[in-house]
């Protein structure tokens, strides 16, 4: 039974991981072939650069979120590394994990998939094949942010192509329409209609691309909304779920009992760097180890 369960989890993680690669490659290959390259001369340089930028940045966030250490607590050295930041006067800064059989910092959670505790664990993400914790949560949020921008950019170009070249206002019927570009206010064919890119085939590709990017954008938008609420409340996703189930967690506050501001909550996630570098995924997150920023929340066992 345990082997069957592990196999199911393995295939679930593998399919989720491959689904992310499929969506990204779809945006990297199919969308440019469909709507960008055929009207490259009509496309502004800024729009092309922007699409390439969000495409590459999304891939960078995806790879870094999956390869980063989320904050594993697997040895006494890991505990010593984190213990300095949990100096709370009215409660101990450590607790015991019965599954790992060792002490761990408060707000750590045991991940049954990784079989170890993770510092401020948010969730285990099958899409990046990694836990999301304190050290890589900010990269996961950036992945959602740039992924939404990528889907929105793809939606813009796809709908522009669909409405501009297939709408009845063009004076061309849907059955006889062919790929077109705009040149000096005139509508000119961009691809030979006698090729495999026939009008009906290309129209179906356009609609398919719109549906795929729209579904991806909505899914990422929902995850991004949950993460935004978590940042505002200075809580992880697991802690938000515990609030829904039990409604017993106290409000987010620092060691002096003061509620954290939005900027302080964002600094805890993205690092105590300048806010101007928060959108940059290729950097080392600056972590300030003082007890003022410690949130007095009860740890939730997972």
How confident is the model at residue 108, as a pLDDT? 87
The pLDDT, as a whole number, for residue 193 is 39
Instruction: Give the pLDDT confidence score for residue 247 in this predicted structure.
Output: 62
Report the pLDDT value the prediction gives residue 244, as an integer from 0 to 100: 77
Rounded-to-integer distance, Cα 206 and Cα 159, Å: 8
In terms of residues, how long is the chain? 302
| Sign of the Cα pseudo-torsion (246, 249, 252, 258, in order) | positive
Q: Where are the domains of the chain?
A: 1-70+121-167+202-248
Task: Report the share of the chain in percent with pLDDT over 70.
Answer: 73
Residue 1, pLDDT score: 55
What's the predicted TM-score (pTM) here? 0.80
Cα–Cα distance for residue pair 247/242, rounded to 1 Å: 7
292 pLDDT more than 50: no
Q: Supply the pLDDT for residue 80.
A: 62
β-pair partners for 109:
118
Q: What is the pLDDT of residue 252?
A: 55
What local confidence, expressed as pLDDT, does residue 88 receive?
Answer: 41
166 or 132, higher pLDDT? 132
Please indicate whether residue 80 or residue 140 has the higher confidence score (pLDDT). 140
- The pLDDT of residue 255 is 46
Q: Which long-range contacts (CB under 8 A, 24 or more apart) does 77-85 make?
A: 79/103, 79/104, 79/105, 82/119, 84/289, 85/287, 85/289, 85/290, 85/291, 85/293, 85/294
pLDDT for 79 equals 66
The confidence band for 96, taking pLDDT boundaries of 50, 70 and 90, is confident
For residue 74, give both structure tokens.
Answer: 């697997």
Q: Which residue has the higher pLDDT, 187 or 240?
A: 240
> How far is Cα 235 from Cα 216, in angstroms, rounded to an integer?
25
Q: Give residue 189's pLDDT.
A: 43
CA atoms 220, 226, 299, 263: torsion sign:
positive
Mean of pLDDT values over 71-95: 61
Q: If you average pLDDT over residues 81-91, what whole number do you get?
A: 48
Digit-coded pLDDT (tens) for 9-68:
888 889 999 999 999 999 999 999 988 888 888 888 899 999 999 999 999 999 999 999
**pLDDT number for residue 296:** 41
Question: Cα-flanking dihedrals φ and ψ of residue 29, to 5°?
Answer: -115, -55
Alpha-carbon 43 to chain mean position:
28
Q: Are 288 and 156 a contacting pair, CB within 8 Å?
A: no
Please state the rounded mean pLDDT for residues 196-200. Answer: 53
Q: Which has the minimum average pLDDT: 14-18, 148-152, 175-179, 252-256?
A: 175-179
Model confidence at 158, pLDDT cuts 50, 70, 90, reads very high
Average pLDDT rounded to a whole number, residues 62-76 = 87
Q: Please state, rounded to an integer, the average pLDDT across all residues of the chain.
A: 78
pLDDT higher than 50, residue 227: yes
Q: Is 148 left (phi over 0), alpha (psi -120 to 50) or beta?
A: alpha
The residue among 251 and 134 whose pLDDT is bigger is 134
């Amino acid at each position: 039974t345990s082997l069957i369960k592990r196999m199911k989890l393995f295939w679930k993680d593998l399919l989720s991981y491959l689904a992310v690669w499929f969506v990204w490659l779809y945006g990297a290959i199919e969308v440019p072939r469909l709507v960008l390259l055929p009207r490259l001369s009509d496309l502004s340089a800024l729009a092309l650069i922007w699409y390439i930028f969000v495409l590459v940045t999304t891939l960078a966030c995806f790879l870094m979120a999956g390869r980063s250490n989320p904050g594993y607590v697997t040895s006494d050295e890991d505990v010593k590394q984190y213990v300095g930041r949990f100096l709370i006067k009215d409660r101990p800064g450590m607790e015991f994990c019965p599954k790992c059989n060792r002490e761990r910092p408060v707000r750590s959670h045991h991940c049954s998939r990784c079989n170890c505790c993770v510092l401020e664990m948010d969730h285990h993400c099958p899409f990046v094949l990694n836990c999301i914790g304190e050290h890589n949560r900010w990269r996961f949020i950036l992945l959602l942010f740039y992924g939404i921008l990528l889907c929105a950019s793809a939606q813009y170009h796809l709908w522009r192509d669909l409405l501009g070249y297939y709408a009845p206002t063009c004076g061309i019927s849907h059955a006889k329409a062919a790929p077109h570009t705009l040149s000096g206010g005139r509508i000119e064919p961009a691809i030979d209609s006698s090729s495999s890119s026939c009008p009906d085939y290309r129209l179906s590709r356009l609609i398919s691309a719109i549906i795929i990017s729209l579904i991806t954008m909505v899914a990422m938008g929902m995850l991004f909304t949950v993460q935004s609420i978590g940042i505002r409340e200075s809580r992880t996703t697991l802690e938000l779920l515990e609030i829904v189930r039990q409604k017993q967690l106290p409000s987010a506050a620092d060691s002096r009992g003061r509620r954290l501001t939005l900027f302080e909550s964002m600094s805890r996630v993205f690092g105590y760097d300048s806010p101007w570098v928060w959108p940059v995924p290729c950097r080392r997150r600056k972590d300030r180890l003082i007890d003022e920023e410690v949130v007095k929340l009860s740890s939730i066992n997972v």
